Amino acid sequence: MEENKTYKRPSWDEYFLKLAMLISERATCPRMHCGCVLVKNKQILATGYNGSIPGDVHCEDVGCYVVDNHCIRTIHAEMNAILQCSQHGVSTQGASAYITNMPCTNCAKALIAAGIKRVVIFSDYHATEAEEFFKIAGVEISRLKIPDRKINYNIDAFCSAVKFKEDK
Protein backbone atom coordinates (compact mmCIF):
# COMPACT_ATOMS: atom_id res chain seq x y z
CA MET A 1 0.00 0.00 0.00
CA GLU A 2 1.34 3.32 -1.06
CA GLU A 3 -0.28 6.62 -0.24
CA ASN A 4 -0.49 9.57 -2.58
CA LYS A 5 -0.06 12.53 -0.25
CA THR A 6 0.28 15.16 -2.95
CA TYR A 7 -3.09 14.37 -4.51
CA LYS A 8 -5.71 17.12 -4.40
CA ARG A 9 -9.16 16.72 -5.94
CA PRO A 10 -9.35 18.97 -9.03
CA SER A 11 -11.80 21.85 -9.39
CA TRP A 12 -14.26 21.70 -12.30
CA ASP A 13 -12.04 24.03 -14.33
CA GLU A 14 -8.95 21.95 -13.61
CA TYR A 15 -10.85 18.76 -14.44
CA PHE A 16 -12.02 19.90 -17.88
CA LEU A 17 -8.67 21.52 -18.73
CA LYS A 18 -6.84 18.34 -17.82
CA LEU A 19 -9.27 16.42 -20.02
CA ALA A 20 -8.50 18.79 -22.91
CA MET A 21 -4.81 17.98 -22.41
CA LEU A 22 -5.53 14.24 -22.35
CA ILE A 23 -7.66 14.49 -25.50
CA SER A 24 -4.80 16.28 -27.30
CA GLU A 25 -2.79 13.04 -27.08
CA ARG A 26 -4.84 11.79 -30.07
CA ALA A 27 -3.72 14.73 -32.27
CA THR A 28 -1.88 13.80 -35.46
CA CYS A 29 0.07 16.95 -36.44
CA PRO A 30 3.49 17.19 -34.77
CA ARG A 31 3.49 21.00 -35.14
CA MET A 32 0.71 21.30 -32.56
CA HIS A 33 -1.24 18.99 -30.30
CA CYS A 34 -4.52 20.63 -29.33
CA GLY A 35 -7.50 19.32 -27.38
CA CYS A 36 -10.95 20.85 -26.81
CA VAL A 37 -13.87 19.96 -24.53
CA LEU A 38 -17.25 21.67 -24.94
CA VAL A 39 -19.07 21.81 -21.61
CA LYS A 40 -22.51 22.97 -20.55
CA ASN A 41 -23.85 22.78 -16.98
CA LYS A 42 -20.75 20.72 -16.02
CA GLN A 43 -21.62 18.13 -18.68
CA ILE A 44 -19.41 17.27 -21.64
CA LEU A 45 -21.16 17.91 -24.97
CA ALA A 46 -18.31 16.88 -27.23
CA THR A 47 -14.53 16.62 -27.47
CA GLY A 48 -12.09 17.23 -30.31
CA TYR A 49 -8.42 17.16 -31.21
CA ASN A 50 -6.65 18.35 -34.34
CA GLY A 51 -6.59 15.60 -36.93
CA SER A 52 -6.98 14.92 -40.65
CA ILE A 53 -10.34 14.73 -42.37
CA PRO A 54 -11.80 11.22 -41.97
CA GLY A 55 -9.96 8.75 -44.22
CA ASP A 56 -7.01 11.03 -45.01
CA VAL A 57 -3.36 10.37 -44.18
CA HIS A 58 -1.82 11.78 -40.99
CA CYS A 59 0.93 14.40 -40.70
CA GLU A 60 2.81 12.20 -38.23
CA ASP A 61 3.01 9.47 -40.92
CA VAL A 62 3.64 11.42 -44.15
CA GLY A 63 4.77 14.86 -42.99
CA CYS A 64 2.84 18.10 -42.73
CA TYR A 65 0.98 19.80 -45.57
CA VAL A 66 2.47 23.26 -45.26
CA VAL A 67 1.09 26.29 -47.07
CA ASP A 68 2.31 29.79 -46.13
CA ASN A 69 4.15 28.37 -43.11
CA HIS A 70 0.98 26.75 -41.70
CA CYS A 71 0.07 23.08 -41.79
CA ILE A 72 -3.37 22.97 -43.37
CA ARG A 73 -4.03 19.22 -43.22
CA THR A 74 -5.87 19.03 -39.91
CA ILE A 75 -9.30 20.07 -38.80
CA HIS A 76 -8.64 21.90 -35.56
CA ALA A 77 -9.73 20.56 -32.18
CA GLU A 78 -12.39 23.25 -31.63
CA MET A 79 -13.89 22.66 -35.09
CA ASN A 80 -13.96 18.89 -34.54
CA ALA A 81 -15.80 19.36 -31.24
CA ILE A 82 -18.36 21.68 -32.84
CA LEU A 83 -18.74 19.35 -35.83
CA GLN A 84 -19.33 16.39 -33.53
CA CYS A 85 -22.22 18.39 -32.04
CA SER A 86 -23.55 19.07 -35.54
CA GLN A 87 -23.43 15.36 -36.38
CA HIS A 88 -25.38 14.47 -33.26
CA GLY A 89 -27.78 17.42 -33.10
CA VAL A 90 -26.38 18.82 -29.83
CA SER A 91 -26.83 22.53 -29.09
CA THR A 92 -23.67 24.42 -28.15
CA GLN A 93 -25.58 27.59 -27.22
CA GLY A 94 -24.22 29.05 -23.97
CA ALA A 95 -21.55 26.36 -23.56
CA SER A 96 -17.92 26.78 -22.43
CA ALA A 97 -14.89 25.62 -24.40
CA TYR A 98 -11.91 24.17 -22.50
CA ILE A 99 -8.93 24.20 -24.84
CA THR A 100 -5.21 23.50 -24.45
CA ASN A 101 -4.43 26.87 -26.09
CA MET A 102 -5.86 30.11 -27.40
CA PRO A 103 -7.75 29.20 -30.61
CA CYS A 104 -6.65 30.36 -34.04
CA THR A 105 -8.66 33.19 -35.60
CA ASN A 106 -10.96 30.91 -37.61
CA CYS A 107 -11.74 28.61 -34.68
CA ALA A 108 -12.41 31.64 -32.46
CA LYS A 109 -14.97 32.92 -34.96
CA ALA A 110 -16.58 29.47 -35.22
CA LEU A 111 -16.79 29.17 -31.41
CA ILE A 112 -18.47 32.59 -31.22
CA ALA A 113 -20.95 31.68 -33.96
CA ALA A 114 -21.69 28.38 -32.18
CA GLY A 115 -22.81 30.33 -29.12
CA ILE A 116 -19.81 29.62 -26.85
CA LYS A 117 -19.77 32.13 -23.97
CA ARG A 118 -16.59 31.23 -22.10
CA VAL A 119 -13.20 30.00 -23.27
CA VAL A 120 -10.78 28.44 -20.76
CA ILE A 121 -7.14 27.93 -21.82
CA PHE A 122 -3.74 27.27 -20.29
CA SER A 123 -1.48 28.52 -23.11
CA ASP A 124 -1.41 31.02 -25.96
CA TYR A 125 -1.03 30.50 -29.70
CA HIS A 126 1.60 32.02 -31.96
CA ALA A 127 -0.58 33.69 -34.59
CA THR A 128 -4.16 34.56 -33.77
CA GLU A 129 -6.58 37.45 -33.55
CA ALA A 130 -8.89 35.37 -31.34
CA GLU A 131 -8.74 37.68 -28.33
CA GLU A 132 -9.94 40.66 -30.37
CA PHE A 133 -12.92 38.73 -31.76
CA PHE A 134 -13.79 37.25 -28.35
CA LYS A 135 -13.81 40.79 -26.87
CA ILE A 136 -16.11 42.08 -29.61
CA ALA A 137 -18.48 39.14 -29.04
CA GLY A 138 -18.40 39.37 -25.23
CA VAL A 139 -16.88 35.91 -24.77
CA GLU A 140 -15.14 35.54 -21.40
CA ILE A 141 -11.51 34.34 -21.59
CA SER A 142 -10.07 32.52 -18.57
CA ARG A 143 -6.30 31.95 -18.61
CA LEU A 144 -5.60 29.29 -16.00
CA LYS A 145 -2.35 27.68 -14.98
CA ILE A 146 -1.25 24.54 -16.78
CA PRO A 147 -3.01 21.56 -15.16
CA ASP A 148 -1.29 18.70 -13.37
CA ARG A 149 0.27 16.51 -16.07
CA LYS A 150 0.07 13.39 -13.95
CA ILE A 151 -2.99 11.17 -13.85
CA ASN A 152 -3.63 10.47 -10.19
CA TYR A 153 -5.04 6.98 -10.35
CA ASN A 154 -3.19 5.25 -7.57
CA ILE A 155 -4.58 1.74 -7.75
CA ASP A 156 -2.16 0.51 -5.09
CA ALA A 157 -3.71 2.92 -2.57
CA PHE A 158 -7.35 1.88 -3.21
CA CYS A 159 -8.27 -0.82 -0.71
CA SER A 160 -11.35 -1.84 -2.75
CA ALA A 161 -9.49 -2.27 -6.05
CA VAL A 162 -8.25 -5.66 -7.25
CA LYS A 163 -5.67 -5.66 -10.00
CA PHE A 164 -5.83 -8.12 -12.88
CA LYS A 165 -3.31 -10.94 -12.52
CA GLU A 166 -1.21 -9.71 -15.45
CA ASP A 167 -0.89 -6.24 -13.88
CA LYS A 168 0.49 -7.37 -10.53
Q: In the range 108-167, which residues lie near Zn ion by CB under 5 A?
A: none
Q: Residues 59, 75, 81, 111: which binds Zn ion (CB under 5 A)?
A: 59
Does residue 102 interact with Zn ion by CB under 5 A? no
Catalytic: which of 2, 25, 60, 78?
Answer: 78
CA distances from 61 to 27, 55, 77, 88, 155 (A): 12, 13, 19, 30, 35
Q: How far is the CB of 50 from Zn ion (least distance, A)?
A: 8
List of residues 6+ apart from 128 with CB closer than 8 A: 102, 103, 104, 105, 108
d(CA 70, CA 74): 10
Q: Residues 23, 45, 107, 120: which binds Zn ion (CB under 5 A)?
A: 107
Please confirm, yes or no, whether 131 is among the known catalytic residues: no
Which residues of this chain interact with Zn ion, rule CB under 5 A?
A: 29, 59, 64, 71, 73, 76, 104, 107
